[in-house]
Structure 1
Amino acid sequence: MIFTATLFILIGIAIKHGKMYNLIAGYNTMSPEEKAKYNIEKIATLFRNVMIAMAVGILVSYGFASWLNIPKIKVFGMFASILIGLPYLLIMSNSKKYRK
């Protein structure tokens, strides 16, 4: 669980601050003309924020599970964070808000 949360944080930071935009699905296959239509800086910020939010959700559920000694909370928290975060990320990143 902690490894997954750390991985999400590292990916979010790599996309935003490391400018590793090729980690964003579909962006690396776009032509330069298509890439110019998108505000990649704002999309990278969205990716960083959502990835960190998912990591925080995983870590909070891990903490509660350890504190209450109920291991099922860990699994529920991880899946809930991912099942909420990924659709949000996909819907928001494909919205017109991030087009120039």
Structure 2
Amino acid sequence: MIIFGLLFGLFIIGIGFFVKKYPETIAGYNTMSTQKKKNVDIESIAALYKKGLVIIGLVIMICSSFFSLLKLLESEAIALPVPLLVGIFILTVLAQKYDHNKRSRFKKRLPVIIVGVIILIVSFSLYYNTRPTNVTVSDNSIEFTGAYGLTIPMVQIGKAELLDNIPEIKMRTNGLRLGGILKGHFILDELGKCRLLLRLPNSPFLYLQLKNGEKIMFNSPDSLCTRDVYNTLKDRLY
């Protein structure tokens, strides 16, 4: 994750220099009529975006590295999207003063409203998807809550094991992978398709194989919790 954060930050910085050199590529401006373009101080907007994107890129690189080194998974997961979204929102607001075209108050605020709504949606999605998976074991079932969670009747469980390591992850087919947070459907070496509810690198890992062939792997940030779930489940099954 730390390498991806650094590369992503450098990519954002590169975009900043690109829009400064080619301001006509800025979204919104490139679709304006020639007359409307005359009322826009595009050079000032380009300079603003360059400065802003460079700052955003540096913040992403610093936060991603810091959180990764401290193994703060939730913080690491938001180190990329949050600075980017908040930064774009601020830049969108500041850029309005360089557009001197006459528009209604609503149309002037529309870009800010759209960006704000997107930030709220993405923020809620990140919050929901990065929350730790909670598990409850009853006499008849085991329930995993949160994103990609499910309830499994005890009679459907064919095998339950506690693993110290997981096979190599080959591919994510449908799910979330942010830092050490893996939720959703992945393809693993040796196991094939598997539903992961993981927070790496915390071991051990609870591995379940259902009678219909479906495979699930879970762990808790607290290793004792994972062991307790396994022991409780083992008592129910055997």
Q: TM-score range by the shorter chain?
A: 0.7 to 0.9
Give the corresponding residue for 1:67. Answer: 69
**Any idea what SS the aligned residue of 2:93 has?**
helix
**Any idea what SS the aligned residue of 1:28 has?**
helix
Task: Tell me which protein shows more strand as a share of its residues.
Answer: 2
CA distance in 1, matches of 2:44, 2:6: 27
**Any idea what SS the aligned residue of 1:69 has?**
coil
Greater mean alpha carbon deviation, residues 42-51 or residues 61-70: 61-70
Q: Please report the RMSD computed on the Cα atoms of aligned residues, expressed in angstroms.
A: 1.6
The question of whether the paired residues in 2 share the 8 Å contact of 1:64 and 1:73 is answered with no
Greater mean alpha carbon deviation, residues 49-58 or residues 67-76: 67-76
Indicate the structure whose relative CO is greater, using CA pairs within 8 Å and at least 6 residues apart: 1
Q: TM-score, normalised by structure 1?
A: 0.83
Q: TM-score, normalised by structure 2?
A: 0.38
**Would you say how many aligned residue pairs link Structure 1 and Structure 2?**
96
Give the corresponding residue for 1:39. Answer: 41
Residue 89 of structure 1, CA deviation: 1.2
**Partner amino acid, structure 2, of 1:91:** V
Q: For structure 2, list consecutive stretches of 5 or more residues without a partner in the other structure.
A: 101-238
Task: Tell me which protein shows more helix as a share of its residues.
Answer: 1
CA distance in 1, matches of 2:10, 2:40: 28
Q: Rg bigger for which structure?
A: 2
**Partner amino acid, structure 2, of 1:68:** L
Q: For structure 1, list consecutive stretches of 5 or more residues without a partner in the other structure.
A: none
The question of whether the paired residues in 1 share the 8 Å contact of 2:23 and 2:43 is answered with no
Aligned counterparts, 1:1-100, within 5 A:
1-16=5-20, 18=21, 20-95=22-97, 98-99=98-99
CA distance in 1, matches of 2:73, 2:99: 43
The question of whether the paired residues in 2 share the 8 Å contact of 1:54 and 1:81 is answered with yes
